[in-house]
Amino acid sequence: PETITIQELANRMSERAVDVIKFLMKQGQMHKITDVIDADTAQLVAEELGHTVKRVAESDVEEGLFDTPDVDENLVARPPVVTIMGHVDHGKTSLLDAIRKTNVVSGEAGGITQHIGAYQVTSPLGGKITFIDTPGHAAFTAMRARGAKVTDIVVLVVAADDGVMPQTVEAITHAQAAGVPLIVAINKVDKPDANPQRVRTELLQHSIVVESMGGETLEFEVSAKTGQGLDSLLEGLQLQAEILDLKANPERSSEGTVIEAKLDRGRGPVATVLVQRGTLHTGDIVVAGAEWGRVRALVNDVGQNVKEAGPSVPVEILGFNGTPEAGDRVAVVESEARAREITEYRTRQKRERAAARMGSAGRTLADMMR
């Protein structure tokens, strides 16, 4: 039977294990952090704590679909995938916009008006960096809950005039739980009441020791408003990426994760996907969640049609038969028959779970009316 430890369940939800234990205690179950609970109990806990649950069965149908290892000799460096996190109004959106603007050649097709939920820029040192353009802990948590690991580095934005706030601490917790390294961007240093030093000191209380205080965490003073420090931040990200030694094999069957998806009136289902392994090509048959399709077109972050997209490249996929969900993992399969087999199996599972939930709800209602 499927099981999970309390610690792992808490990690996947980005919740504290103690909160899971507390919840179970209220249900009359006493557990330690290392205890194993069954999948149904885990699902109940997750849903009660406000998470969407997607149970991935270890069935034959899914066999070999994901995480087939890369062969060493084909590994090449890939760009880091970066997510910006931080307290509300500390400048996440402004930073993402400012970074993108400094990098987009004016007049480029689509230009900066194009928005696909992720984009790539070139650091002053020449390396590419991929930014996930959906700031917010919700997206990060949703993806992690589905077992998708998309982020290599988190940029923690802290406003220099406001300091460390509750969502700053939350972001630190998320990043640490996911084992993702942090880089600190002390933003709004253009403001007269900016106090970057206070930010550094406050971070110490959350065991983030920045470089200038003798620690290992890179920190940069920036202003999304004036553009100050953005180049240094990008250089820092490339440096951090080199330390992480990120590699992927571009010459294999592709895997990725849906960053966002929508039903477009003219174009049908459109999924923005971060390619994580291999290279995705037009004409490939892809599955994502309970949806599949043949890739009719790939559109890059500046609105250009492209024939292929390699590791760490964000791209829109056109051609899905239905709209997948953010956080769904994407894989290329060898045939339409295989795609149908997988998605029909997943649809069936979804239905059965929904029916099981309805069943128990019905019983509860009947119990109440006795």
Q: Which residues participate in the annotated binding site? A: 86-93, 133-137, 187-190
Q: Determine if 346 is a binding residue for ligand GDP (CB under 6 A).
A: no
| 137-145 helix and 166-178 helix, angle to the nearest 10 degrees | 30
Residue 191 near which of Mg ion, ligand GDP, none (CB within 5-8 Å, type-dependent): ligand GDP
Nearer to ligand GDP, 220 or 292 (CB): 220
Q: Which does 327 bind (CB under 5 to 8 A by kind): Mg ion, ligand GDP, none?
A: none
In the complex with ligand GDP, the residue whose CB is nearer, 17 or 259, is 259
Which residues neighbour 247 within 8 Å (Cβ) at sequence distance 6 or greater?
A: 70, 75, 76, 77, 78
Q: Does 224 bind ligand GDP (CB under 6 A)?
A: yes
User: How do beta strands 285-288 and 329-333 pair?
Assistant: antiparallel
- CB of 329 vs Mg ion, minimal distance in Å: 26
Q: What is the 3-state secondary structure (H, E, C) of 245-290?
A: CCEECCCCCCEEEEEEEEEECCCEEEEEEEEEECCEECCCEEEECC
Residue 349's binding partner among ligand GDP, Mg ion, none (Cβ under 5 to 8 angstroms by kind) is none
Question: Is position 91 an interface residue for ligand GDP (rule: CB under 6 A)?
Answer: yes
User: Both ends of the chain: CA-CA distance in Å?
Assistant: 34
List, in order, residues 6 or more apart from 9 with CB less than 8 Å away. 20, 37, 42, 45, 46
Contact between 190 and ligand GDP per CB under 6 A:
yes
CB 282 within 8 A of CB 298: yes
Least distance in Å: CB of 271 to ligand GDP?
24
Size of the site for ligand GDP (CB under 6 A): 16
Contact 252, 278 (CB under 8 A): yes
Decide if 149 contacts 120 (C-beta within 8 A).
no
Which residue ranges are tagged as binding site for GTP? Answer: 86-93, 133-137, 187-190
Task: Confirm or reject binding of residue 117 to ligand GDP (CB under 6 A).
Answer: no
Report if residue 257 touches ligand GDP, rule: CB under 6 A: no
Longest dimension (CA), the chain: 72
Asked if 102 interacts with ligand GDP (CB under 6 A), we say no
Among 28-36, 92-100, 255-263, 269-277, the segment contacting ligand GDP (CB under 6 A): 92-100
Segment lying near ligand GDP (by CB under 6 A), choices 147-155, 184-192, 287-295, 321-329? 184-192
Among 74-82, 220-228, 231-239, 265-273, the segment contacting ligand GDP (CB under 6 A): 220-228
CB 313 within 8 A of CB 286: no
Positions touching ligand GDP (CB under 6 A) are 86, 88-94, 135, 187-188, 190-191, 223-225
